[in-house]
């Protein structure tokens, strides 16, 4: 079911019964799936087009939110990023997203799932920071930038021992 169809169904019918029918209250998402989802979120929100660290925490929140919604409901977002954002706004405006999050926090099982997802996202984010902000990584990135942007002939640096 699409987000748009879900929102329209909730508007036409008894909102609560339609809503509850689509939440998967006993679903367990495999640990490795959670790691994969969180790695995708971090990859999408911590790097720019040139693979340089560029954090975008509002998008991180958005991606985490829609990942939870898709994993714990039978409702899917569009693949189109612009439409996906419009669908998220539609869910929030109709208060269905808040109802979903309230259910995640009030249901013992879903809250456990939420906490595990959030913890994994924090760990993956922390690993990214540790792996990319070390002095060694800083120097490697600096050399890579120099080779890419300044040196007309990168082999010149390699031939003269500047890069191993």
Nearest-angstrom CA–CA distance, 97 and 91: 5
Burial of 105 (0-12, 13-18, 19+ CB in 10 A): exposed
- Per the CB < 8 A criterion, the answer to whether 147 and 157 are in contact is yes
Are 122 and 154 contained in the same domain?
no
- Domains of the chain: total: 2
* Together in a domain, 80 and 159: no
Same domain, 57 and 13: yes
Q: Give pLDDT, residue 127.
A: 85
> pTM of the prediction?
0.76
pLDDT per residue over 118-164, tens digit each?
A: 999 999 998 887 776 666 666 776 777 777 776 555 555 566 555 55
Shared domain for 21 and 96, answered yes or no, is yes
Lowest mean pLDDT segment, chosen from 47-51, 77-81, 115-119: 47-51
Name which of 59-63, 73-77, 109-113, 130-134 the model is least confident about. Answer: 130-134
* 40 and 98 both lie in a single domain: yes
Q: For 34-61, give one letter per residue: b (16+ CB within 10 A) or e.
A: beebbeebbeebbbeeeeeeeeeeeebe
Domain with 157, as residue range(s), is 134-164
138 and 122, same domain (yes or no) = no
Residue tagged 């939440």 (tokens): 23
Same structural domain, 128 and 143: no
């Amino acid at each position: 079911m699409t987000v748009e169809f879900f929102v329209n169904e909730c508007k036409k019918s008894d909102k609560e019964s339609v809503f509850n029918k689509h939440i998967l209250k006993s679903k367990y998402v495999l640990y490795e799936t959670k790691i994969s989802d969180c790695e995708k979120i971090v990859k999408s929100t911590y790097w720019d087009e040139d693979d340089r660290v560029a954090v975008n925490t509002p998008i991180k929140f958005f991606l985490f939110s829609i990942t939870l919604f898709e994993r714990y409901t039978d409702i899917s977002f569009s693949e189109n990023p612009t439409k996906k954002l419009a669908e998220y706004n539609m869910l929030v405006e109709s208060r269905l997203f808040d109802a979903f999050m309230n259910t995640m926090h009030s249901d013992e099982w879903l809250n456990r799932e939420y906490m595990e997802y959030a913890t994994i996202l924090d760990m993956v984010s922390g690993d990214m920071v540790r792996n990319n902000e070390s002095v060694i990584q800083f120097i490697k990135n600096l050399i890579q930038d120099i080779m890419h942007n300044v040196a007309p002939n990168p082999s010149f640096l390699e031939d003269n021992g500047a890069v191993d």
